Amino acid sequence: MKLYPIKFEPILMDKVWGGEAMQRALDKKSDSKNLGESWEISDVQGNVSVVANGEYQGENLRDLILKFPKELIGKADAKEFPILIKFLDANVPLSIQVHPNEELAQKMENSHGKTEMWYIVDATDKAEIYLGWKEEYPKEELIEAYKAGNIKDYLKVYKPKKGEFYFVPAGSIHALGGGLIVAEIQQTSDVTYRIYDWGRTDRELHIPQSIEVTDYTFKDDFKLDYGKAENSLNPVIESEFFQTVFLNITDSISLDTAGSYDVLMCVEGKGTIVYPDGEISIQLGETILIPAALGKYELKGKDLKVLKVKA
C-alpha cells in the first residue's frame, strides 16, 4: 500500500432537525435546507466511506481494510473500522434518545453498541444539551415518564459553549438542542432508540427498547475537562472504545502513529500535514485518516485546532 493521509467523500444526510449551518461554517457542498449529518469516516454497512484523494481514490474504506489491514489499521486481522466520525448541525432539537451498550446491541440488533462523545464546534446563545438525569430518581418513576411522554422534565440541561467536550456512554439518555454544530466521535453503529420527539409525529418511538437499554443511575457531570497547551498532546478521554487528544497548534507538532492509525478531525483553522512523501492541507470541517504504517508526521498551522482520535 502506498502510504499517504487519506481524505474521504463526506456522506451527507438530510434530517428533520438539520439546517444550513454546515454549508456555511464547514464548507459542506449541499443545497439542502435540512442537512443534519456529514459522515466523515464510516464503515457502517450501507454507508461506507469512499476515498477522495490519491492512488486509492474511488475505493471504499471496507475494501481497503480487507486489502491492507496491518498497514491501514495496525492489526493484521482487522475487518472493519472501529469508529464513526461525523459533523452534525442541530438546527432544532434532536429526539431525546438512548443507545444500547455492546452486550445489548449484539443481543437486540446484531450490532455494536454506541458510546459517543461531542465536541462543540459552534453554539448559539440559546443552545442546549439534554444529557443524563437532573438528580437521582426511582427507576419505576422514569419508566412511567417514558410511557407518559414527559421524560424531558427529568433531564439535566447544559448550556454548551464552543470548545467544550461531552462524553455520552451507551445507555445515557440525551439530546442535542437547537443551535449547535458538533463533531461526534462514536463506535461504528447506527442504532438509536427514540424516547421523545418534541411533538413530531412522523417518526417511530422505541419505548420498550429504550426502557431495556437505559442506564438509570445518576451521574454528576458528563462534561470533560481538558488542557489546551499549545503544540502539545492534550488528552481528553481514554475510553475502551476510543481515545481522543486535543491539539492546539500555533506552530507545529511532531506526531507518530506508533503502529495504529490516527484520525485527524479539524475543528478550527487550517494547516498542513507533512509526511515522508509529501504534504497535504487540512482545514475546518475536514477529517483525514493517517494510516498506521505511515509512522512519523508533522502537523503545522496557526490557530489550528484538531481532534486526534484512535481506537
Q: Which CATH class is domain 234-310?
A: mainly beta
Whether 184 has a binding-site annotation, put simply, is no
Q: What pLDDT does 162 receive?
A: 98
Whether 71 has a binding-site annotation, put simply, is no
Residue 7 to residue 264: CA distance in whole angstroms: 10
- All three cell numbers of 193: 432508540
Beta strands in 1-79, from DSSP E residues, in sequence order: 6-7, 11-19, 35-41, 43-44, 47-48
For β-strands 262-275 and 296-310, DSSP reports them as antiparallel
Q: Specify the DSSP class assigned to residue 51.
A: B
Catalytic residue among 24, 62, 194, 200: 194
78 contacts 65 by C-beta, under 8 angstroms = yes
CATH number, span 6-224: 2.60.120.10
pTM: 0.96
Q: Where in the chain is the domain with CATH 2.60.120.10?
A: 6-224, 234-310
- Give the Cβ contact number of residue 13 at 10 Å: 17
Q: Is 194 a catalytic residue?
A: yes
User: Which residues does residue 73 pair with via DSSP β-bridges, in sequence order?
Assistant: none
Q: Residues 42, 46, 47, CA angle at the centre, nearest 5°? A: 30
Whether 99 has a binding-site annotation, put simply, is yes
Residue 273 to residue 283: CA distance in whole angstroms: 11
The model's pLDDT over 133-177, given as tens digits with 9 standing for 90+, comes to: 999 999 999 999 999 999 999 999 999 999 999 999 999 999 999
Going residue by residue through the chain, which has 311 residues, state the pLDDT in tens, using 9 for 90 and above. 788 999 999 999 999 999 999 999 999 999 999 999 999 999 999 999 999 999 999 999 999 999 999 999 999 999 999 999 999 999 999 999 999 999 999 999 999 999 999 999 999 999 999 999 999 999 999 999 999 999 999 999 999 999 999 999 999 999 999 999 999 999 999 999 999 999 998 899 999 999 999 999 999 999 999 999 999 999 999 999 999 999 999 999 999 999 999 999 999 999 999 999 999 999 999 999 999 999 999 999 999 999 999 99
Find the distance separating the first CA and the last CA of the chain, reported in whole Å: 21
